Chains A and B, each alone.
Chain A
Amino acid sequence: MIIDIFLSSYPLFLKATWLTVQLTAVALMLGCVVGLVIAFFRISDNKVLNYIAHVYITVIRGTPLIVQICILYFGLANLVTLSQFWAGAIALAVHNGAYIAEIFRGAIQSIDRGQMEASRSLGMSYPLAMRRIILPQAFRRAIPSLGNQFIIGLKDSSLVAYVGMQDLWGTGLGEAASNYKQLETYMVVGLYYLVLIMIFSYFVNKLEARLARGKAPNKQAKDNTSVAA
């Protein structure tokens, strides 16, 4: 029975869940930094930077994550000593970074040109206008796609099991191999992922609702009756 498997294995799986959460959180944070940098490279006027971003996105999107993880883990092991955790985290960050870059680029470019012009006309420098005016609006617009990418990232983190990490999926593989109850064990693993993602989605939805336009967290805004034409 699934319930027996669940009860007998939960100390192990809770530990594995914690590893998956840590790994994904670190990877996605790094991925956002990578993504933002690559997004700026793509929208830059500099041809060399454009080209770097283009190659990066093409290569990363054009190869499977499992291949990237293995190349990083086994390939880089010859050059530097990377712990399992960091090899996995960096591979996931590099991979998600390419997708996040495209999300950020799209969001930044979707902000009306007038916003940058108005900022510049007030004497703001390009970086200041980007930081204070464009990016805050772009981030809000990126949240639904970003949330989606984070969910994909969390699920894809299961692939680090194949370089020996004892994350949720890695632990599941080990358990199934020793208890011979593959179906029940994998269903339990699936359940852990599902719960994690449901919790995450709940917070993304809350964030989205709070940032929704016209519903700014402000009393006077709510009381105001005049509506834009």
Chain B
Amino acid sequence: MIEVKQLVKSFGPLTVLKGVTLTVEEKEVVVLLGASGSGKSTLLRCLNFLEFYDSGEIRIGGQQIDPHKTNLNQFRAEVGMVFQHFNLFPHKTVLENLIEAPVHVKGMNVAEAKQLAYELLKKVNMQDKADVYPDMLSGGQKQRVAIARALAMKPKIMLFDEPTSALDPELVGEVLQVMKQLAKEGMTMIVVTHEMGFAREVADRAVFMHDGQILEQGPPSEFFENPQHDRTKQFLGSIR
């Protein structure tokens, strides 16, 4: 589904990705782990072309994406992204947040988009808040709405960039619950997270990044029980 080959990305003199190669299969749930600054968020942002990489190759669904030739808007519409800070549109109600892109990007008619939005809100258990503005919601509620908003574009892949890092601890569970449900339904997901419980329970594969490279990867059972690299052991030790 997603093939990343030798991806290199620098910000000025700082090389953040130093040749990352990663393949993600359809319906696979991959968790990206690593210390901050290891390049995991940048990798995720490259996959949605919010950052342009310097060299390497990204193929999605067998098609190579050339940021200068491919219609990125169309491509991005098929890749959902959930951000650490939610980024809901504050001037629009929850419902308006959900129908914005389907109506104005896909050209879906409003009635149809609303129906889809209500279904998705029900799925993330936010149907009661359809007409509320984001400012009135808790962090966990905001993130669930943000997930529903991304799903409203019916993406083939969902990218999560530390979706629970900005939440109060007691609100993390409700967001992870929604993500577990999505994984169960067979959504292809790449998740940058520090939630080791989620990684163990839900992920098909854990990928550990260090210093702009993938150091180690494997099924969570092996990865967590028997890490190979010292750096991985150290990281897992510090998290526990």
Contacts and interface: CB of A to CB of B under 8 A. Distances in A.
29 contacts: A112-B85, A114-B83, A118-B81, A118-B146, A119-B89, A120-B73, A120-B76, A121-B76, A121-B79, A122-B105, A123-B73, A123-B74, A123-B77, A123-B101, A124-B105, A128-B105, A140-B91, A213-B135, A214-B135, A218-B133, A220-B132, A221-B132, A224-B136, A226-B136, A226-B138, A227-B136, A229-B138, A229-B139, A229-B168
A58 interface: no
A133 interface: yes
B136 A112 contact: no
Given A118-B88, A213-B135, 14 more contacts: A117-B87, A118-B89, A120-B76, A121-B83, A122-B149, A123-B153, A137-B91, A214-B136, A224-B136, A226-B138, A226-B141, A227-B138, A228-B136, A229-B139
B164 interface: no
Interface in B101-119: 101, 104-106
Minimum-distance CB pairs A-B, first 7: A123-B77, A118-B87, A122-B101, A114-B87, A121-B81, A123-B105, A220-B131
Nearest to A114: B87
Nearest to A213: B135
Interface in A139-154: 140
A226 B137 contact: yes
Interface in A94-128: 112, 114-115, 117-125, 128
Interface of A: 112, 114-115, 117-125, 128, 132-133, 136-137, 140, 213-214, 216, 218, 220-221, 224, 226-229
Contacts of A133: 89, 100
A218 B93 contact: yes
A229 B137 CA distance: 8
Given A122-B100, A213-B90, A221 B131 contact: yes
A123 B93 CA distance: 20
Contact of B104 (A118, A124, A221): A124
Interface of B: 48, 50, 73-81, 83, 85, 87-91, 93, 100-101, 104-106, 129, 131-133, 135-139, 141-142, 146, 149-150, 153, 168, 171
Contacts of A128: 104-105
Contacts of A229: 138-139, 168, 171
Given A114-B87, A117-B50, A224-B132, A132 B100 contact: yes
A190 to B, nearest CB: 39
A87 B68 CA distance: 46
